[in-house]
Structure 1
Amino acid sequence: MSTRRIGMSDIVIGQPLPWDVYGSDGKLLLRKGFTVTHAGQVAALIERGLFADIDRSDNNLRDGKPVEKATEAPSVVRMINNARTELRRILYNLSTETNAQADLLTLARRVGSAAFMAPDVALGNILLNQEDTYGTRHSVDTAIVSLLIARALKKPPEELAMLAAAALTMNLGMLRQQERLQEKSEALTAAEQELIFQHPETGVRMLRAAGIDREEWLSWVLHHHESEDGSGYPGKKSSADIPQNAKIISLADRYCARVSIRSYRKSMLPNAALRDILVEGKSKIDPMLVTVFIRELGTYPIGTFVKLDNGETAVVTGKGAMTTTPFVHSLLGPRGVALTVPLKRDTSKIAIREVLHRDQVQVKFTMRHLWGEIARL
């Protein structure tokens, strides 16, 4: 096999690939003839490092027939799971990383590729894929929401990458203690409260020691717990003194923390989390960002379980014409019997009656059932 590295300009959206495509590890990613349908797929593929088999011929035969090779299209869920694992590896070994800044920016771009390739799947992952360790899972989830808000504000690509890197590293200063703190049902001790108040500054010191020298990135980590009214920490900054990207991370952080499962309590219902944020928004959050946030996530964020007016139980899987009328896939019929396949419904025609907790929905399914191969594990 003769190969050459291929780039963005080699893949034409909407046209079949003229060659087999392999990853940098030699694994077949896409078979000749596969059609890439949008730019997000291209960006995600290029990020993995691609090589084309430029001299594939019919000489590759077995019993007179071409040998078939398995094709594996990208999976956003797998990309996000891999990002969680890689982030944990980098952060827990940060003091020995030889190129931490480049590695974290590369990882941030991979998270962006996943988020932009299929935003519905990436957002659904936050509510429907909470099996991993909280600390790094929460940071990746926050990065996804931050990226989608920032893209809506038309931030340039390099700024998006640094924003994602800041979200991925926002809790570095308390990473090793975070899991224990998040699962506590009793009041925090004075020492634990101090750890939390100081973790932005601690994180910045650790990042600098690891060779991170991008001042915007460091500033966003430092300020991601500041509030519009000056009640945040560590600097009691307010309004215009807080960088906008730190505000974006803060907003995403607040939402993702509220909808995350805890050992001692149920996660907050996604629409209730949004209402809670709106209440805070009157004093603590930039109202313009809240507006963008609601527009991007909707009143019923993707992954929310709902009961419809026709009695079916469904999960939100896509944005609708309005923020209050998403598309859903019904999982249970009106009598509570699991449907053979999930049925897509438009809630502008069949309204949402109520929002449900996951433990109220007695049916097994995977994200792949809802979104297909792009959401397989």
Structure 2
Amino acid sequence: MDPVTAQRTLTGLELKVGTRLPWSLYSPQGALLLTEGTLIRSERQIESLISANAYYVHTPSLGTYKTQEHQRSSSPKVSSFVIIHTLLERLEACFSLAHRSGQSGAFVRGIMKLVFDIQAVCEENPDAILGTMQLIVEAPHGLLHPLHAALMCEVAACRMGYDALERAPLVAAALTHDIGMYDIQQALFEQRAPLSASQREIVDNHPLLSYELLQSHGVNEPRWLNPVLQHHERLDGSGYPNGLKADSICREARLLAITDCYSAMIRPRAYREQVLPKDAIKEIFQQRGATIDERLARLFIDVMGVFVPGTLVELSHGELALVTGQGEGLNQPAVALLQNRLGVRLEAPRHLVLEDSQAIRSILRLQDHTDLIALLGRAWPEMSPIPSAV
């Protein structure tokens, strides 16, 4: 631990219900518990963190803890981690309305408000949003996965030349494409055993279940409904639920299928390790023209880069860095140096663009370097906040 920072055990006095963590929290074993920006929801949550002997890394330059009201009045900008946590909370609130009778209007309005906020934050700094999304792992899979897909769809569709109103139904579809199995997603994510017959039936039917649930809430826009129904269809007819082929699958569903696959691959499951982002990109490239749309696969890779924002890397001289975006070419990633060649963590990230990706020696797993997480909130510039209420 360098002299500028200090590891401190949580006492509970630092936290207040309704405010956000100003730093990430870890278990005594070094496992990440909660990332910076997480909303503190209850006293019970605080008590649970104290009982777990959670600790944080205090960095004086980050300042003292501020309430949300104080942040709004004196420091309008927030880290990208706060942005992502706010979007996750908003999505959770929307999903809570999906199965309540008489809440159709509130559900659809909530989703569309979330769509427009997603468009705003992606316009401000798409690399920060996509990179931070990859770094947050502790939220429920049923929220992380659709939000990640929606963010990637928004950035890719914008690159394709769709205007904001044209992109909106696709982003809404990405947010809700798995809503038909939302209630069991976390259990499936944590399950090591094979699917039961009832679970398999839900998984096989979830595109149709999601489609019908949206219709029951009054959604009748084909550009929202069709991508939801078709996101597991494949060009060669091997997909489901209807075994559609080629041009029978709408373009938006083909793009959603790519983002769905990528997001699923890079998140570890109980029964497998995560696929590294570069390997997930490689798998999408290899499947282009066979099961997924070749042109859209190339576009997706162009948007994400060979080295995706949010990827932890070791450079050729031993420094550790986080990929923060792209330079002028796919093989010229922008990075934030986090640790020097001597293994000493920097006081603050140092930004540079690599002349060639060959300067990257290897890709690392962030969970093996949790001591660096304290710097990640400053890997990208702070952003304009969004409201937390639906």
Please indicate the TM-score interval, normalised by the length of the shorter structure.
0.7 to 0.9
**Is this contact kept in 2: 1:126–1:256, CA < 8 A?**
no
Aligned residue among 90, 93, 96 for 1:89: 93
Q: Deviation at 1:177?
A: 0.6
Against the structure 1 CA distance between its residues 376 and 262, is the aligned structure 2 distance closer, same or farther, given a 3 Å change threshold?
Answer: farther
Between 1:256-265 and 1:314-323, the stretch displaced more is 256-265
Question: Is residue 80 of structure 1 aligned with residue 84 of structure 2?
Answer: yes
Question: Is residue 352 of structure 1 aligned with residue 353 of structure 2?
Answer: no
Q: Secondary structure at the match of 1:369?
A: coil
- Residue matched to 1:152: 159
1:257-284 Cα deviation digits (max 9, x unpaired): 1111334433211001111222222411
Against the structure 1 CA distance between its residues 89 and 362, is the aligned structure 2 distance closer, same or farther, given a 3 Å change threshold?
Answer: closer
- Residue matched to 1:175: 182
- Residue matched to 2:143: 136
Q: Deviation at 1:144?
A: 0.3
Q: Secondary structure at the match of 2:381?
A: helix
Higher RCO by CA contacts (8 Å cutoff, separation 6 or greater): 2
> 2:334 is aligned with what amino acid?
F
Q: Deviation at 1:366?
A: 4.1
- Residue matched to 1:370: 379
Q: Deviation at 1:344?
A: 1.7
Q: Distance in 1 between matches of 2:87 and 2:326?
A: 25
**Is this contact kept in 2: 1:76–1:117, CA < 8 A?**
no
Question: Is residue 269 of structure 1 aligned with residue 276 of structure 2?
Answer: yes
Q: Distance in 2 between matches of 1:340 and 1:107?
A: 35
1:122-144 Cα deviation digits (max 9, x unpaired): 11122112221110121111100
Gaps of 5+ in 1: 1-68
Q: Distance in 2 between matches of 1:204 and 1:250?
A: 15
- Residue matched to 2:171: 164
Against the structure 1 CA distance between its residues 148 and 227, is the aligned structure 2 distance closer, same or farther, given a 3 Å change threshold?
Answer: same
Question: Is residue 226 of structure 1 aligned with residue 233 of structure 2?
Answer: yes
Runs of 4+ deviating beyond 6 Å:
none
**Is this contact kept in 1: 2:79–2:382, CA < 8 A?**
yes
**Is this contact kept in 2: 1:77–1:121, CA < 8 A?**
no
**Is this contact kept in 1: 2:77–2:384, CA < 8 A?**
no
- Residue matched to 1:117: 124
Q: Distance in 2 between matches of 1:157 and 1:372?
A: 24
Between 1:163-172 and 1:112-121, the stretch displaced more is 112-121
Gaps of 5+ in 2: 1-72
Percent identity between matched residues is 29
- Residue matched to 1:237: 244
Q: Deviation at 1:368?
A: 2.3
Q: Deviation at 1:75?
A: 4.9
> 2:96 is aligned with what amino acid?
Y
Between 1:357-366 and 1:237-246, the stretch displaced more is 357-366
Q: Secondary structure at the match of 1:341?
A: strand
- Residue matched to 1:17: none
> 1:82 is aligned with what amino acid?
T
Q: Deviation at 1:361?
A: 2.6
Against the structure 1 CA distance between its residues 106 and 359, is the aligned structure 2 distance closer, same or farther, given a 3 Å change threshold?
Answer: closer
Against the structure 1 CA distance between its residues 234 and 360, is the aligned structure 2 distance closer, same or farther, given a 3 Å change threshold?
Answer: same
Q: Distance in 2 between matches of 1:71 and 1:336?
A: 33
Q: Secondary structure at the match of 2:378?
A: helix
Aligned residue among 190, 193, 206 for 1:199: 206
Q: Deviation at 1:362?
A: 5.0
Q: CA RMSD in A?
A: 2.0
Q: Deviation at 1:215?
A: 2.1
Question: Is residue 190 of structure 1 aligned with residue 197 of structure 2?
Answer: yes
> 2:314 is aligned with what amino acid?
K
Q: Distance in 2 between matches of 1:326 and 1:289?
A: 21
Aligned residue among 296, 301, 308 for 1:294: 301
Q: Secondary structure at the match of 2:324?
A: strand
Q: Deviation at 1:80?
A: 2.7
Q: Distance in 1 between matches of 2:385 and 2:323?
A: 18
Q: Deviation at 1:79?
A: 3.1
- Residue matched to 1:15: none
Q: Distance in 2 between matches of 1:70 and 1:366?
A: 23
**Is this contact kept in 2: 1:87–1:136, CA < 8 A?**
yes
Q: Secondary structure at the match of 1:374?
A: coil
> 1:357 is aligned with what amino acid?
R
Q: Distance in 2 between matches of 1:376 and 1:124?
A: 17
Q: Deviation at 1:116?
A: 1.7
Q: Distance in 2 between matches of 1:163 and 1:79?
A: 21
Q: Distance in 2 between matches of 1:247 and 1:98?
A: 28
Q: Distance in 2 between matches of 1:186 and 1:125?
A: 31
**Is this contact kept in 2: 1:120–1:317, CA < 8 A?**
yes
1:161-220 Cα deviation digits (max 9, x unpaired): 111110000001100011111222222223222211100101111111111121221111
Against the structure 1 CA distance between its residues 253 and 375, is the aligned structure 2 distance closer, same or farther, given a 3 Å change threshold?
Answer: farther
1:95-143 Cα deviation digits (max 9, x unpaired): 3314132331121111121122110111112211222111012111110
Aligned residue among 103, 107, 113 for 2:110: 103
Higher Cα radius of gyration: 1
> 2:296 is aligned with what amino acid?
L
1:9-30 Cα deviation digits (max 9, x unpaired): xxxxxxxxxxxxxxxxxxxxxx
Q: Secondary structure at the match of 1:372?
A: coil
> 2:230 is aligned with what amino acid?
H
Q: Distance in 2 between matches of 1:193 and 1:218?
A: 23
Question: Is residue 250 of structure 1 aligned with residue 257 of structure 2?
Answer: yes
